[in-house]
Amino acid sequence: MKYKILGKTGVLVSNLCLGTMTFGSETDEREAARMFGKCRDAGVNFFDCSNNYSEGRAEEILGKLIADCRDEVIVTTKVAQRVGKDVNALGTSRRHILRSVEQSLGRLKTDRIDLYFVHYFDPFTAMEDTLRALDDLVSQGKVLYLGASNWAAWQVAKALGISAKDALARFECIEPMYNLVKRQAEVELLPLAASEQLGVIAYNPLGAGLLSGKYSGGNQPPGGRIVEKEQYSKRYGEPLYYEIAERFVKFAGQLGVSPVTLAVSWVESHPAITAPIIGARNAEQLEASLAAADYLMSDTLRGEIAALSVAPGNATDRLEEQLETKYLLRNR
């Protein structure tokens, strides 16, 4: 296992992060403990959660698992997604944030959250109000660092500007979707993170299992997120994604490497990425992902894998500046 500094925080985190979305639903408490133990044995010290995973059950399970090693692990959780039937049980209002953080602290059985993410952008709440509420949590010591998940680059940049102007605690990490078939983060989010020294933990490195090989050859497995959950069938339903996955799995076979290991390693190898978020339903499924921690991904191999996919378009239509910049970098 390798360790990287999370943004500018000075905190060292493992280059793989265990996602706990399955805890309390597909994964019962006993199996979650096996998964947690396997990750700790491998050197993982980074665990990602949310207050809406399994209606709070994931936080409760994770809280029990970290009880004996709380000072050795970095724990994240999130706020914004709906967590109840009340009309105000969602969003990023001060009211909801202050209520939610207390509930998360209680379920996690801890006195602080290492990294607290806003789960999505809330267009109905003034960003200034959200950032001031989050800054108060940092001042109180209930939250150590802040992050944003599923925000666009302009939204993150605006938040960083407000935080700098008003001397508020800033976002230190972002959590975007990123994998071989979903590469939009390369256009603006990852360059922004590199420029502003933000940590990046990327979710869905396997494309909800699409890049694992179980859908190859037109297979339709009996279970899995793409089969069982509409949000994933829509997210990864493009025929092109299956074509890319087919090429990728074949390429992995030629290398003699598990496509799971290769897919996670490809995400981890991007210079702006701090850690891919790995996940599974059981401990056995984790093994190939954990192997990515020490897999040697050269620049050449990363380029060959990227060529199997389709690179996203440029942030602007003026390609000539990009070409000139590359020329200048090569000839310095």
* Catalytic residue set: 53
At a CB cut-off of 8 Å and minimum separation 6, what does 204 contact?
177, 178, 179, 182, 277
Neighbour count for residue 322 (Cβ, 10 Å): 12
The C-alpha atoms of residue 130 and residue 232 are separated, in whole angstroms, by 29
CB 15 within 8 A of CB 275: yes
CB 38 within 8 A of CB 283: yes
3-state secondary structure 208-220: CCHHHCCCHHHCC
CB 11 within 8 A of CB 74: yes
Sign, Cα dihedral of 304, 310, 315, 316: positive
Token pair listed for 192: 């922004």
Cα 26 versus chain centre, distance: 19
The C-alpha atoms of residue 270 and residue 292 are separated, in whole angstroms, by 13
CB 159 within 8 A of CB 169: no
